Amino acid sequence: MDPSCFGFRLASWNANGVKSHIVELRDFIDKHHPDIILIQESHLGPGDTFQIPNYTTYRSDRPHAPNQNPRGGTVILLKSFLPHHHTLIPPMGTVEATSVTLPPPRTNPLVVTSLYISPCVDHRHIATDLEAIFSLGHASIICGDFNAHHTSWGCHRIDSCGSIIKNILDNTDTQIIAPTTPTRFGYNSASTSDFALTRNLHWRSQVESIAELSSYHNPLLISFDTDTRFAFPKRNVRTDWEVFQELLSPAHYTFQPITAHTGENVETQAAAITDRILHVHALASKPI
């Protein structure tokens, strides 16, 4: 299928700690240009900053004790010019999730969710949690690391979480988008535990498990043929540069020089500065 026909590109990746991979993540974004990136096992805490230039960030950090390292967590990165809004997730019994809603042209709003199911949790609430997320909107994409294995999507074994997902597929109007090659790699093993579930979505899709980024999971790249270009045109704006300069002045913003000595920390601090400049530009601009 000709890649030029695709109107919406989604990437999903279990990062196993995203802060240590921020440089290669930015290289991945520059190479593949996804409209939205879903991250699982972000391992971010309240004091951690995580930003990518030209993308808006939404995250759900897993609560942890002060003497423990952050674990779990989900993130969504979305191209900043795409109209959208953050969608609050109802209380979950098992899964970790972050959601946004987008309004594609001439179709129903689309809820996109980054989801992580830990292999250590009780599986009794998984079906209820997924139905609660699907109920957030008419059309839905739930994508991430389900830690669910079933021969129906290419795994060599069936586990309890996989049986729950298979039951949902068999008894509801839910479809699965899974690659033909593994997404997770362990010691002498490989499986497909990263995939997407969709409901009320009638776009053709193409999915790949890409051998890039240094985690024990490959990133997924899903391209959707939306029959119309999903990328909305950028707004024509007029910027008041005096207001722009004022909002970046010491009276409103304290510039912190880059003091980092590692590539990862330099990228993080530079991204924070870039995000601030883009935010101030938006505040100082009005549509023409």
139-145 vs 237-239, strand pairing mode:
unpaired
Mean pLDDT by 10 residues, the chain (288 residues): 61 93 93 96 90 93 80 94 92 95 81 95 93 94 97 94 96 95 83 95 92 90 75 63 84 71 63 70 75
- In the chain, the amino acid numbered 18 is V
Helices and strands in the chain, H and E counts: 5, 16
Q: Extract the tokens encoding 223.
A: 């391209």
Residues in the chain: 288
Beta carbons of 195 and 184 less than 8 angstroms apart: no
Q: Return all residues near 258 (Cβ < 8 A) that are at least 6 apart.
A: 266, 269, 270, 273
Half-sphere exposure of 39 (CA within 13 A, CB side): 32
Q: What is the pLDDT of residue 163?
A: 96
**Dist. CA 24–CA 30, nearest whole Å:** 10
184-186 vs 174-177, strand pairing mode:
unpaired
**Dist. CA 122–CA 191, nearest whole Å:** 21
- In the chain, the amino acid numbered 38 is L
Q: What is the pLDDT of residue 28?
A: 95
Q: What is the pLDDT of residue 226?
A: 77
Whole-angstrom CA distances from 42 to 87, 96, 112, 178, 262 are: 19, 11, 17, 22, 20
**Dist. CA 121–CA 159, nearest whole Å:** 13
Which residues on adjacent β-strands are paired with residue 37? 11, 77
Distance between alpha carbon 118 and the CA centroid of its chain, in Å?
17
Q: What is the pLDDT of residue 138?
A: 85
**Dist. CA 179–CA 51, nearest whole Å:** 28
**Dist. CA 18–CA 61, nearest whole Å:** 12
Is the four-CA dihedral 110, 112, 117, 121 of positive or negative sign?
negative
Q: What is the pLDDT of residue 135?
A: 94
Whole-angstrom CA distances from 50 to 17, 272, 273 are: 11, 8, 12
Nearest to 27 by CA among 216, 277, 214: 214
Beta carbons of 57 and 44 less than 8 angstroms apart: no
State pTM to two decimals. Answer: 0.77
> What one-character DSSP code corresponds to residue 217?
B
Query: Which uninterrupted H or E stretch holds 263?
Result: helix 263-283
Query: Which uninterrupted H or E stretch holds 279?
Result: helix 263-283
**Dist. CA 204–CA 226, nearest whole Å:** 7
